[in-house]
Structure 1
Amino acid sequence: MTMIQALRSAMDVMLARDSNVVVYGEDVGYFGGVFRCTEGLQAKYGKNRVFDAPITESGIVGAGVGMAAYGLRPVVEVQFADYVYPALDQIMSEAARLRYRSAGDFSAPMVIRMPCGGGIYGGQTHSQSPEALFTHTCGIRTVMPSNPYDAKGMLIASIENNDPVVFLEPKRLYNGPFDGHHDKPVVPWSKHELGEVPDGHYTVPLDSAKVVREGKDVTVIAYGTMVFVAEAAAQETGVDAEIIDLRSIWPLDLPTIVKSVQKTGRCVVVHEATKTSGFGAELLSLVQENCFYHLEAPIERVAGWDIPYPHAQEWSYFPGPARVGEALKKVMEA
């Protein structure tokens, strides 16, 4: 399966298993979503289970909070992550706090799906990576799978979870992986030992990272499309890098990170979002706090530029193998 097919399969499985699951958002019903992630689901489950919503992100998410509080399990699609900002109050002030402020009487078991990241020439309002906003908000889980197997298993786990999950989907990986340089899917999934995607029900834990490449020289922490960029950089530089795919950005699988950095003694953090106040800063701090006496070199961050998303220069904006490779060489030479 492609990631699109895997996500659709996850929603199909859960719509069939649980009558409380509903799927809705802009164009997700008859049209099947702008990326066709929900194609065919309305025809199969009806307009009461899979339906379109007006163009009002705050209304879409706000209605989901109410549905979740009263027993449904809504799977909400925000058409692009860039569109989520009108709904931030509903996510951060309502969904995230509902369990705590009601002393456990209510919860918000809902999933907010949103395509994220650049690489499809979508411009400033279709290419952002806002994951750091959600990791800063207590009460929300934030995940970003990098492959179809994890995408399906994590989406099922998110729907079954009893608290809100922001589910970020890298658009560049929707139709297959890429070689770290281009926007075309050219590397077979089997090369990354990801396996086939089962048709039925399975879950991937929402708090576990995965070591996708064993190494002894340096630990590279990445997620989403940057996992493949990191692999390309390691291959091109010859550095024996151990690459960790976070998968779950928050809650974070800190033990896997600490174990790896204590083994390698070096660390590079890679993400697509803007560098300043990005989630890489938190990762760097945690590694510093937990691995200081094992570090042989300063931790390096490779991220997007501190500018508004540059449509004409997006392939220079986010890290590529060359920039990650420079960081790998720098920590090895320190």
Structure 2
Amino acid sequence: EPLHRRQPGAPHRARHRPAGIAGFAIGLAAMGNRAIAEIQFADYIFPAFDQIVNEAAKFRYRSGNEFNCGGLTIRSPYGAVGHGGHYHSQSPEAFFCHVPGLKVVIPRSPREAKGLLLASIRDPNPVIFFEPKWLYRLSVEEVPEGDYMLPLSQAEVIRKGSDITLIGWGAQLAVLEQACEDASKDGISCELIDLRTLIPWDKETVEASVSKTGKLLISHEAPITGGFGAEIAASIAERCFQRLEAPVARVCGLDTPFPLVYEPFYMPTKNKILDAIKATVNY
């Protein structure tokens, strides 16, 4: 129940619901069902954190593969929505990327969402499927009516380039594409990669791209400190150290609670990314 709709002094029942939803879904999956749970905002997934992290993620491991809850998919809208403020705009993907036993998947568009969701539901592991809130009303795309799946843990190069590699996921791909277009007007050729699956992520595709371009920029809405971009930067520094021609750049959210009035200052915008592209290419 949203805070602004409650009567003063009324109990905030919504904070307990995610725990029940996750626990019920884990039980269903443990009995062999394909359970699809929905936490209506990722901002409110935290009461279910214990069930997801200490139950779902460890179910198979702790039993020596005698039982599992691998048929579990948890859907949750995440990220900025344009007017959500600090309670309806968060990007908590990095919390779950830290947990062995979970997969984390984030689509960038309607077509991707259907194919990746069907693949997640049929995957034999618990999957956290974050759906960008921004795309719910703004994204328009032809989606096949039939059954189809898109492979998990396989990034997609959606724009070929030679000067710098850009990586993102979710709604941030649209912002990165705009920055690529503007950079091309200045003669900068950007290669753009949609990571799609954050855990386990496609290191090989990213490594191949950075080995070609020698430069890397990562952008996500979540705060920069401890964001998943840091994991990518560290991995690529290890794998491509001798090929890197500039420090890995990160254009991310700020290390503050998500603001309401000052959202444009917080978000990793096209202009911020374009400035970082130019600085990295000219390093």
TM-score normalised by the chain length of structure 1: 0.78
Determine whether 1:262 maps to 2:223: no
Measure, in 1, the Cα distance between the counterparts of 2:123 and 2:205: 23
Measure, in 2, the Cα distance between the counterparts of 1:120 and 1:300: 25
Measure, in 1, the Cα distance between the counterparts of 2:90 and 2:48: 16
Q: 2:9 is matched with which residue?
A: none
Determine whether 1:141 maps to 2:103: yes
- SS where residue 241 of structure 2 aligns? helix
Please state how far the C-alpha of 1:55 moved relative to its aligned partner. 5.5
Which residues of 2 match residues 1-334 of structure 1 at below 5 A? 56-108=17-69, 109-177=71-139, 189=141, 196-238=142-184, 239-334=188-283
Q: 1:3 is matched with which residue?
A: none
Partners of 1:114 and 1:167 within 8 A in 2: yes
- SS where residue 91 of structure 2 aligns? coil
Q: 1:4 is matched with which residue?
A: none
- SS where residue 86 of structure 2 aligns? coil
Measure, in 2, the Cα distance between the counterparts of 1:322 and 1:330: 12
Q: Which residue identity is paired with 2:96?
A: F
Q: 1:14 is matched with which residue?
A: none
Task: Provide Cα deviations, 1:21-77, integer angstroms capped at 9, x if missing partner.
Answer: xxxxx9xxxxxxxxxxxxxxxxxxxxxxxxxx9961111101111110011111100
Q: 1:182 is matched with which residue?
A: none
- SS where residue 262 of structure 2 aligns? helix
Q: Which residue identity is paired with 2:81?
A: G
Task: Provide Cα deviations, 1:99-121, integer angstroms capped at 9, x if missing partner.
Answer: 10011111111111000001330
Please state how far the C-alpha of 1:299 moved relative to its aligned partner. 0.7
Task: Provide Cα deviations, 1:301-324, integer angstroms capped at 9, x if missing partner.
Answer: 000000011111112211011100
- SS where residue 226 of structure 2 aligns? coil
Measure, in 2, the Cα distance between the counterparts of 1:203 and 1:228: 22
Measure, in 2, the Cα distance between the counterparts of 1:151 and 1:113: 11
Q: 2:5 is matched with which residue?
A: none
Please state how far the C-alpha of 1:87 moved relative to its aligned partner. 0.3
Partners of 1:218 and 1:328 within 8 A in 2: yes
Q: 2:11 is matched with which residue?
A: none
- SS where residue 268 of structure 1 aligns? strand
Runs of 5+ in structure 2 lacking a partner? 2-13
RMSD across aligned positions (CA): 1.5
Partners of 2:106 and 2:196 within 8 A in 1: yes
Partners of 1:119 and 1:314 within 8 A in 2: no
Measure, in 2, the Cα distance between the counterparts of 1:224 and 1:243: 13
Please state how far the C-alpha of 1:175 moved relative to its aligned partner. 2.7
- SS where residue 293 of structure 1 aligns? coil
- SS where residue 82 of structure 1 aligns? helix
Q: Which residue identity is paired with 2:41?
A: F
Partners of 2:73 and 2:121 within 8 A in 1: yes
- SS where residue 87 of structure 2 aligns? coil
Aligned length in residues = 267
- SS where residue 80 of structure 2 aligns? coil
Runs of 5+ in structure 1 lacking a partner? 1-25, 27-52, 178-187, 190-195
Partners of 1:172 and 1:225 within 8 A in 2: yes
Partners of 1:120 and 1:171 within 8 A in 2: no
